[in-house]
Chains A and B, each alone.
Chain A
Amino acid sequence: MTETALKRTILYDEHAALGAKLVPFAGYEMPVQYPAGILTEHNWTRSSAGLFDVSHMGQAFLVGPDHASTAAAMEKLVPADIASLKPHQIRYSQFLNPEGGILDDLMVTRSAYAGYEGWLYLVCNAARKDDDFAHIEKNLPANVKLQRGADMALVALQGPKAEAALAKLAPAVRDTPFMHYAAVSIDGIQAHVSRSGYTGEDGFEISISDKDAVRLWQLLLANPDVKSVGLGARDSLRLEAGLCLYGHDIDETTSPVEADLLWSIQKRRRTEGGFIGAARVQKEIASGAKRKRVGIKPEGRAPAREGTVVTDTAGRQIGVITSGGFGPTANCPVAMGYVETSFAKPGTAIQLIIRDKPMPAQIITLPFVPHNYER
């Protein structure tokens, strides 16, 4: 393997100054935790407001002459209904390969900015962004172009006190519904504020120019209700919320139906198809998928990590854990993984092979911790 220099986000010096433990993640040197530690940072996000640097993620724009044209181009790439997106609205979707496997998952926003009516704003995973962008460009019609975000930062403010903290600086965010954005000025900083996140809590993802990122970061942290939270807690928060992590819970072999993401494919798209990978998705909608992503709760206290074999009560392998650890809010081990569809019903007793020993576990309904979104 060749060694490539790790990239840094514009907030790197802030993390270092806060005493963060920095680790390689998706080609970036990122804060996995601050001195408070993962457990404390997790609990702080659930009870107050956590501030995350997610500037490593891919931000880009799909640019066409009008919404109908751009949406039509996007609908070839993703199974979500993009045409019916209202200005300001956000939808979660996936890029699929021709076999219906997931290339990446992403957020799609319809612009309402004056003069940018034919624009969609995309946010995808850091580790996948270069491949995503190449995939998009390969599949666009002549009148729609991809524009990669340049010098853009992204921070997430998540937790029950996120709204109050951000509204102090930009009161308009109080009126921004879940999965919608607001364009606001925060102490003179132009900010694109999406009411969305990856923790199961209410909160915002704030896109700003690199040049404003440090000032915004410091402004938010000046509020005693806001503390910096690293990628370690981001992982335990999203796992408790039952949200997929690309490369673990979803990948090029898993389809959106297997991954239990059918909710993100609106009715018109299910019947009409017309997106890359539609054949498998429509077939699985009609006749079912062989396996399904499910929540799994070990009955003991031992966490079941990624790769743990799942068996039926007789010991036959029926699946595998794709994400697993300890849920600080659930106060028990939490996991998700894939099992044969006949075992996917909540309440089904299964076994996990942990250190060569079968441990009892149960299929549960996700999430482990109820979502606290502002509807």
Chain B
Amino acid sequence: MSVKFSKDHEWVSLAGDIATIGITNHAQEQLGDVVFVELPAVGKKVAKGGDAAVVESVKAASEVYAPVTGEVVEVNKELEADPALVNRGAEGDGWFMKVKISNPAEFSELMDKAAYDKFVASL
């Protein structure tokens, strides 16, 4: 299992053809206190770069884009009752959705941890 990162500040952990997706710790720090998460319906097809979820902090609403193409097979229901879980564990318990990926090449194109850290430092 390996974890990769997108320029839109999502992380993707791939196990077989199931990608677990969330927002990065850097993203939650930028957002501040998360108060609402809107997750896609299970069964929804998401396309790389397309809208997948919405995360709202006290300040503003932000789109979460799908870092890979596929079909949503599970969402993190805990986030509905406890959106602050995104702040406490962005890259762990605060995951957003699981997607059955249709194009493994898209995963390979994402950044590894070192490249993402470098990208964040350049912002």
* Interface set of A (CB-CB < 8 Å, partner B): 32-33, 37-40, 42, 232, 236, 301-303, 305, 325-326, 328, 333, 355
Contacts and interface: CB of A to CB of B under 8 A. Distances in A.
A236 B56 CA distance: 14
B58 A325 contact: yes
Looking at chain B, what size class is its interface with the partner chain? 10 to 19
Interface of B: 32-33, 35-36, 38, 54, 56-61, 80, 83
A301 B36 contact: yes
Nearest to A38: B58
23 contacts: A32-B59, A33-B32, A37-B33, A38-B32, A38-B57, A38-B59, A39-B32, A39-B35, A232-B32, A232-B58, A232-B59, A301-B35, A301-B36, A302-B36, A302-B38, A303-B35, A303-B36, A305-B61, A325-B59, A326-B35, A326-B36, A333-B36, A355-B54
B55 to A, nearest CB: 11
A303 B33 CA distance: 14
3 nearest CB pairs, A to B: A39-B33, A326-B35, A38-B58
Nearest to B30: A21
B85 to A, nearest CB: 14
A37 to B, nearest CB: 5
Main SS at interface, chain A: mixed
Contacts of A232: 32, 58-59
A38 B56 contact: no
B25 to A, nearest CB: 15
A326 B56 contact: yes
Contacts of B56: 302-303, 326
Contacts of A305: 60-61
Contacts of B32: 33, 37-39, 232
Nearest to B60: A305
A326 B61 contact: no
B58 A301 contact: no
Interface centre among B36, B54, B58, B80, by most A CB within 10 Å? B58
Contacts of A328: 58
Contacts of B35: 39, 301, 303, 326
B54 to A, nearest CB: 7
Interface centre among B36, B60, B80, B83, by most A CB within 10 Å? B36
Nearest to A333: B36
